[in-house]
């Protein structure tokens, strides 16, 4: 493009120079023609021909020099105007550079403020870390002091143990209390830090807003005042004197400098105020930190005093409890785990601080990037403004040149008209002279006509040469234009192909990324579900392990107690054996033996109860009455029998202890096996359900049902536990989904909706701006009405957008609730069916148990006890308990059914009503949107059709111009043929003149011979012949003059067409440059919109310049209707400026909306990162909440059973009685 431009510029300069030379030659020839006419006039007088010729030659030379000086003067004036334009552009560049310098200083100061903020934040973090280190050191010293206090070695072991246990207990309590306090203080600290950050952010934002407003307000006011004063002075100067431009420029520059100095001073004052504010804020923050530290120290002191008081009270209690428990068990301190936990918590806090610091650095980097992007935008806008000013100056200079050329042509036309009038006058005078004296004037006329014919031939030749040159230039320009248009079309096609390729690649990449994101989300959901199931399984296993460990500890304690009792009994047996030798008739010994027997029996009963406890509930047998010793036996026999009995009891106790140990080992093995079998429980679930159905249908006899009752109850208990766990898991997932998915989906929907609305708004604003510009160009007064209509449409659109956002949020919430209800309904139905099956099975068992009780009522007491024990051991519950469970289950089933019905009625009805109302509202909004889209579509179609019409019009104009060129070529050929014919006629006329001369000579020679009558007759014939020839010559001259005038008109038309072609070519170049200046990284629609916007801007600027030119022309005209037209044009210009300002404001709003969109996207990414940063502690807390919830449910069930036993009822929410 640059080579073509250089060639075109070089060719244009050559053409201009040649045109200048041709115009000089024309002016010289015109002067010579005038001089010849003056000479002819002087020669007619017949006085001093030689002097007149000398005088006339001198005058010609003077006139030629004067004309040359005039042309040089005009050329120099054009050069001065061009230089003045360059000076103005340089001044504009200087002003732009000064503005850039001011902007850079402002950016530097803002960066310095940010650096100072960063330093302040780092100092605060350093102070906080030093305080934390001091607190940790103090805590470590306190911990070392607490651990360092060892008991004295001189004291006995029991006292040393008591002191060690007391210290350990106190340390454990202190650690627990400090942990709780540290958690509370950390939470408070986090909350306070959040509040402080929010407050700092709000303060900084407000200060920035205030600073920007203070910077804008005085500068804009001063500038507006200066502009108004300058415009008023310019108008006065235009009306009064045009020579005061230099003074106006100097005053304008001085005022601009003063305004910049004032604005800089205002900025300095504002920055000093901001520095003072920041210093005050720093002092306030330091005072707040000091007060917080003092409060913290006071709280620590109070907590230490409370800890000391609690430790003293706990120590006194522990002394009493330790004396009793020293012989039985040994407390194991768990201080190492707690210390490890503390270290883990400290590490987690440090990691969180590091993460916060990293996030702050990332946020600052993003702020820097945003500032860089803003700077780039400002530079681009400045470049655009400078290009715009340069183009406007060029267009103005070009238009001025064209105006001058038009004036010159008008002057030439007037001059030619005057010459034509003079020639007509001369022809009339010649006619009169011919009528008066035909002989003398004929010769003069013939000579003058010869001279004129020679001049006309010369002019004809020069014009033919100029026509040939112009024709060649026109052909070359047409060929260049065709090549240029073909190159431009090829370039546009190539650019479009490149854009399409890039857009396709980006679209494919976006689709791949979207599919990957969907896959990752699905995998995340699956992993979370697996983690939740595994977590629930782990919690169940932990609970079971805890239960087994508790049972083991209880068994161990029972074993130790029984061993102690056995040792006591052995000691007493030894004493009794020693007492054999002594007397046996004492009453005290008999009482001791009876007491010992009772104790032995009690221990036996306890042993039996412990043996029976894992299988069936405890039933205490009746105590056999102590057998009274027969009086017949002697005392020795009694003692011997008693000793034998004691020996037997001791052996039995030993055997039972061994059995207990074996049972413990078996329980441990069973615990391990149960852990292994628990993994298989889920697989065996279906099989157990099938067995349940078979057991309910198949067995008919009583004992089989009695045997199968126990696993049924276990399965039902497991089912209830499973349902409870499922409900808890579903509630927790629902909460998590409500917290995460709902917010995420809402943000996604809002972002997508805002993007769509932004695109629609951009299209609408462009269309409305086009309409407003066209209406303002056509109708000046209707601009305000269009602006009002646009504001009303914009406000309506905003209200509709808000309503749509609210309705979309409500739709999402209702959809979420509807899906949850759909998921819960089948689960609740399945649970109700299972409970019904369980109730039916319990009814069958109850009927069978009632039959067995009636059949076995006539048996003995021993058989009753044995059968009762067996039945209770097999079924697990008595008839009364079973009846209670059946009643409770009925109530539960009724409650579930009522809840289901209420949910079906209320939720479905309300949801349907809301959905219907929302559908109606959505349909109404859709209708409104469709109307708006139709309106906007019509405007877009009009715009598209107008563009197509413009291109078609350009093509048709181009074809018309090509046809005109062809016509001109044909006319030139016709003119050549006519010129040849004229030359041929000219030769004929010359021949006729020579014949006439020879005839006149013959007449002269024969005049003496002829008579007077023949002379008169010949003279009359000759005069008539000459008059006929003169008429023919005059007609020929008139024809030739017409041909000359026609050729001049054609030349003018060709020049005007050449100018139009050049203008169209320049416009096409500007359009191409505007089309090439779109950003590369944007999509096709945006690039097209930007191209169209730039073309519209350039078109509007051209229209503005045309209007300004019209205003200047009308001001020069002093007619009666000029003022009215001037006011109309001013109104149009005001409306146009107003619309351009509105367009700028709309663009600024769009930019702000885009920045808000970017902020929302960054917030969404930050929320995602925070969700990913949730560690295992969060999920552990959720599991703790689950466990607490389960325990609370179990307690509530127990309380409900107790209330039903006491006969009380409570109205629970959402359930039956």
- Distant-in-sequence, close-in-space partners of 89: CB < 8 Å, separation ≥ 6: 389, 390, 393
Residue 1148, pLDDT > 70, answer: yes
Residue 391, pLDDT > 70, answer: yes
Per-residue burial over 240-278, b = 16 or more CB atoms within 10 Å of its CB, e = otherwise: eeeeeeeeeeeebeebbeebbeebeebbeebbeebeeeb
Quick one: which H or E segment has residue 304? helix 245-325
Q: In the predicted model, what is the mean pLDDT of residues 378-388?
A: 83
Q: Which pLDDT score, from 0 to 100, does residue 630 have?
A: 42
Q: Which pLDDT score, from 0 to 100, does residue 873 have?
A: 41
Residue 628, pLDDT > 60, answer: no
Residue 1077, pLDDT > 70, answer: no
683 confidence band (pLDDT: 50, 70, 90): low
Per-residue burial over 825-834, b = 16 or more CB atoms within 10 Å of its CB, e = otherwise: eeebeebbeb
Residue 79, pLDDT > 60, answer: yes
Model pLDDT for residues 776-799, shown as the tens digit of each residue = 444 444 445 555 665 666 676 666
Which of 125, 20, 134 lies closest to 68, judged by CA? 20
Looking at per-residue confidence, does 254 or 74 come out higher? 74
End-to-end CA distance of the chain: 92
Which of 317, 330, 338 lies closest to 553, judged by CA? 330
pTM above threshold 0.85: no
Mean pLDDT value across the chain: 72
Model pLDDT for residues 1083-1101, shown as the tens digit of each residue = 455 566 666 666 777 777 7
What is the rounded CA–CA span in Å between residue 1080 and residue 1093? Answer: 16
650 confidence band (pLDDT: 50, 70, 90): confident
Q: How many residues does the chain have?
A: 1217
Which long-range contacts does 382-389 make (Cβ < 8 Å, 24+ apart)? 382/96, 382/99, 382/100, 385/96, 386/92, 386/93, 386/96, 388/1101, 389/89, 389/92
1105 confidence band (pLDDT: 50, 70, 90): confident
What is the rounded CA–CA span in Å between residue 232 and residue 628? Answer: 140
Q: Which of 862-866, 890-894, 1198-1202 is most confident?
A: 1198-1202
Q: Which of 64-68, 316-320, 1127-1131 is most confident?
A: 64-68
Q: Which of 25-29, 857-861, 1056-1060 has the lowest mean pLDDT?
A: 857-861
What is the rounded CA–CA span in Å between residue 1061 and residue 1067? Answer: 10
Model pLDDT for residues 300-326, shown as the tens digit of each residue = 788 778 777 877 777 777 777 767 776
Q: Are 633 and 642 in contact (CB under 8 A)?
A: no
SS3 (DSSP) at 271: helix
SS3 (DSSP) at 156: coil
- 702-739 and 861-875 are packed helices; what angle lies between their axes, rounded to 10 degrees? 30
Q: Cα 409 to the chain's mean position, in Å? A: 61
Q: In the predicted model, what is the mean pLDDT of residues 7-23?
A: 84
Q: Which of 90-94, 448-452, 628-632 has the lowest mean pLDDT?
A: 628-632
Residue 364, pLDDT > 70, answer: yes
What is the rounded CA–CA span in Å between residue 482 and residue 494? Answer: 18
Q: Are 335 and 175 in contact (CB under 8 A)?
A: yes
Looking at per-residue confidence, does 756 or 453 come out higher? 453
- Distant-in-sequence, close-in-space partners of 883: CB < 8 Å, separation ≥ 6: 846
DSSP string, 699-745: --SHHHHHHHHHHHHHHHHHHHHHHHHHHHHHHHHHHHHHHTHHHHH
What is the rounded CA–CA span in Å between residue 246 and residue 771? Answer: 41
Looking at the chain, the whole-number percentage of residues with pLDDT higher than 90 is 1
Looking at per-residue confidence, does 1075 or 518 come out higher? 518
What is the rounded CA–CA span in Å between residue 453 and residue 439? Answer: 21
Return the number of other C-beta atoms located less than 10 Å from residue 877's C-beta.
Answer: 19
């Amino acid at each position: 493009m640059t080579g073509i431009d250089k060639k075109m510029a070089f060719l244009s300069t050559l053409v201009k120079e040649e045109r200048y030379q041709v115009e000089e030659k024309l002016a010289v020839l015109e002067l010579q023609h005038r001089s010849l006419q003056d000479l002819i006039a002087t020669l007619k007088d017949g006085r001093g021909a030689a002097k007149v010729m000398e005088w006339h030659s001198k005058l010609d030379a003077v006139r030629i020099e004067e004309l040359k000086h005039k042309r040089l003067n005009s050329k120099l004036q054009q050069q001065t105007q061009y230089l003045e334009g360059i000076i103005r552009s340089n001044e504009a560049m200087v002003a732009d550079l000064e503005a850039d310098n001011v902007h850079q200083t402002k950016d530097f100061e803002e960066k310095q403020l940010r650096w100072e903020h960063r330093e302040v934040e780092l100092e605060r973090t350093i102070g906080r870390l030093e305080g934390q280190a001091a607190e940790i050191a103090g805590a470590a010293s306190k911990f070392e002091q607490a651990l360092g206090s060892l008991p004295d070695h001189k004291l006995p072991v029991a006292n040393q143990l008591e002191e060690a246990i007391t210290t350990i207990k106190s340390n454990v309590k202190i650690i627990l209390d400090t942990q709780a306090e540290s958690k509370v203080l950390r939470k408070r600290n986090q909350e306070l830090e959040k509040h402080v950050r929010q407050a700092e952010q709000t303060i900084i934002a407000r200060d920035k807003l205030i600073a920007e407003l203070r910077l804008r307000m005085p500068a804009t006011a001063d500038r507006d005042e200066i502009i108004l004063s300058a415009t008023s002075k310019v108008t006065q100067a235009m009306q009064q004197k045009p020579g005061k431009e230099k003074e106006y420029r100097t005053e304008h520059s001085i005022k601009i400098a003063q305004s910049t100095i004032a604005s800089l001073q205002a900025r300095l004052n504002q920055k000093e105020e901001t520095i003072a504010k920041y210093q005050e804020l720093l002092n306030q923050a330091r005072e707040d930190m000091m007060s917080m530290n003092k409060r913290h120290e006071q709280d620590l002191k109070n907590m230490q005093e409370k800890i000391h008081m609690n430790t003293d009270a706990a120590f006194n209690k522990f002394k009493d409890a330790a004396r009793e428990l020293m012989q039985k068990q040994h407390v194991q301190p768990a201080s190492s785990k707690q210390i490890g936990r503390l270290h883990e918590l400290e590490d987690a806090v440090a990691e969180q601080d590091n993460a916060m610091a990293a996030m702050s650095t990332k946020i600052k980097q993003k702020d820097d990037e945003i500032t860089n992007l803003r700077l780039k935008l400002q530079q681009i806008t400045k470049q655009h403004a400078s290009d715009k000013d340069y183009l406007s100056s060029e267009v103005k200079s070009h238009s001025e040149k064209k105006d001058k050329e038009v004036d010159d042509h008008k002057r030439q036309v007037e001059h030619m008209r005057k010459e034509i009038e003079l020639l007509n006058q001369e022809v009339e005078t010649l006619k009169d002279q011919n009528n008066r004296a035909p002989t003398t004037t004929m010769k003069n006329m013939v000579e003058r006509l010869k001279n004129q014919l020679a001049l006309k031939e010369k002019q004809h030749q020069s014009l033919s040469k100029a026509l040939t040159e112009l024709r060649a230039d026109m052909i070359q320009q047409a060929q260049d234009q065709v090549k240029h248009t073909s190159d431009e079309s090829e370039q546009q096609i190539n650019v479009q192909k490149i854009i399409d390729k890039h857009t396709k690649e980006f679209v494919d990449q976006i689709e791949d990324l979207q599919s990957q994101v969907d896959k990752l989300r699905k995998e995340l959901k699956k992993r979370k579900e697996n983690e939740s199931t595994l977590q629930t399984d782990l919690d169940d296993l932990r609970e079971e392990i805890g239960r087994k460990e508790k049972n083991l500890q209880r068994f161990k304690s029972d074993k130790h107690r029984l061993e102690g009792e056995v040792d006591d009994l052995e000691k007493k047996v030894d004493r009794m054996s020693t007492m054999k030798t002594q007397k046996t008739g004492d009453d005290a010994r008999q009482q001791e033996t009876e007491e010992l027997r009772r104790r032995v029996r009690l221990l036996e009963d306890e042993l039996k109860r412990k043996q029976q406890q894992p299988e069936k509930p405890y039933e205490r047998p009746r105590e056999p009455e102590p057998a009274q010793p027969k009086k017949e036996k002697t005392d020795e026999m009694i003692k011997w029998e008693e000793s034998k009995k004691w020996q037997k009891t001791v052996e039995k106790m030993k055997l039972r202890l061994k059995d207990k140990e074996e049972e413990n080992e078996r329980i441990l093995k069973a615990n391990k096996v149960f852990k292994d079998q628990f993994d298989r429980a889920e697989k065996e679930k279906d099989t157990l359900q099938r067995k349940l159905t078979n057991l309910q249908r198949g067995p008919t006899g009583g004992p089989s049902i009695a045997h199968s009752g126990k696993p049924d109850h276990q399965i039902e208990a497991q089912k209830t536990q499973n349902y409870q766990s499922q409900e808890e898991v579903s509630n927790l997932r629902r909460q998590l989904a409500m917290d995460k998915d709902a917010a995420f989906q809402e943000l996604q929907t809002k972002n997508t909706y805002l993007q769509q609305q932004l695109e629609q708004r951009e299209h609408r604003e462009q269309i409305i701006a086009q309409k407003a510009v066209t209406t303002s160009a056509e109708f000046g007064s209707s601009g305000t009405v269009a602006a009002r209509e646009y504001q009303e449409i914009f406000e309506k659109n905003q209200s509709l957008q808000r309503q749509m956002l609210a309705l979309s949020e409500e739709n999402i919430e209702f959809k979420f609730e509807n899906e949850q209800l759909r998921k819960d309904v089948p689960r609740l139905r399945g649970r109700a069916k299972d409970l019904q099956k369980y109730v039916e099975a319990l009814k069958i068992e109850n009927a069978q148990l009632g039959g067995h009780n009636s059949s076995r009522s006539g048996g003995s007491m021993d058989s009753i006890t044995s059968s009762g024990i067996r039945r209770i051991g097999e079924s697990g519950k008595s008839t009364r308990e079973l009846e209670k469970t059946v009643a409770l289950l009925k109530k539960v089933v009724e409650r579930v059914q009522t809840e289901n019905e209420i949910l079906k009625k209320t939720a479905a009805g309300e949801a349907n009503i809301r959905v219907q109302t929302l559908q109606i509202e959505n349909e109404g909004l859709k209708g409104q949107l469709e109307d708006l889209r139709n309106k906007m579509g019509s405007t877009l179609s009009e715009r598209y059709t107008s563009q197509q019409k413009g291109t078609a019009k350009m093509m048709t104009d181009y074809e018309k111009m090509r046809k005109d060129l062809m016509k001109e070529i044909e006319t030139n050929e016709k003119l050549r043929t006519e010129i040849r014919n004229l030359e041929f006629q000219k030769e004929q006329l010359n021949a006729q003149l020579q014949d006439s001369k020879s005839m006149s000579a013959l007449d002269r020679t024969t005049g003496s011979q002829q008579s007077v009558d023949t002379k008169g007759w010949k003279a009359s014939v000759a005069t008539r012949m000459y008059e006929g020839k003169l008429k023919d010559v005059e007609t020929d001259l008139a024809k030739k003059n017409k041909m000359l005038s026609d050729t001049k008109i054609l030349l003018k038309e060709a020049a005007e067409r050449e100018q139009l072609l050049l203008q169209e070519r320049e416009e096409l170049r500007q359009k191409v440059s505007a089309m090439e200046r779109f950003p590369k990284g944007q999509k096709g629609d945006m690039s097209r919109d930007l191209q169209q916007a730039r073309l519209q801007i350039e078109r509007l600027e051209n229209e503005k310049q045309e209007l300004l030119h019209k205003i200047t022309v009308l001001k020069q005209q002093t007619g009666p209707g000029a003022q009215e037209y001037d006011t109309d044009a001013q109104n149009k210009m005001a409306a146009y400026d107003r619309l351009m300002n509105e367009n700028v404001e709309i663009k600024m709003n769009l930019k702000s909306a885009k920045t808000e969109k970017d902020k929302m996207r960054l917030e969404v990414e930050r929320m995602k990162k925070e969700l990913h940063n949730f560690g295992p502690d969060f999920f552990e807390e959720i599991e703790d909440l689950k466990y607490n919830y389960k325990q609370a449910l179990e307690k509530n069930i127990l309380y409900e059973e107790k209330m039903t036993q006491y006969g009380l009822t409570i109205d629970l929410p959402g359930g039956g009685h």
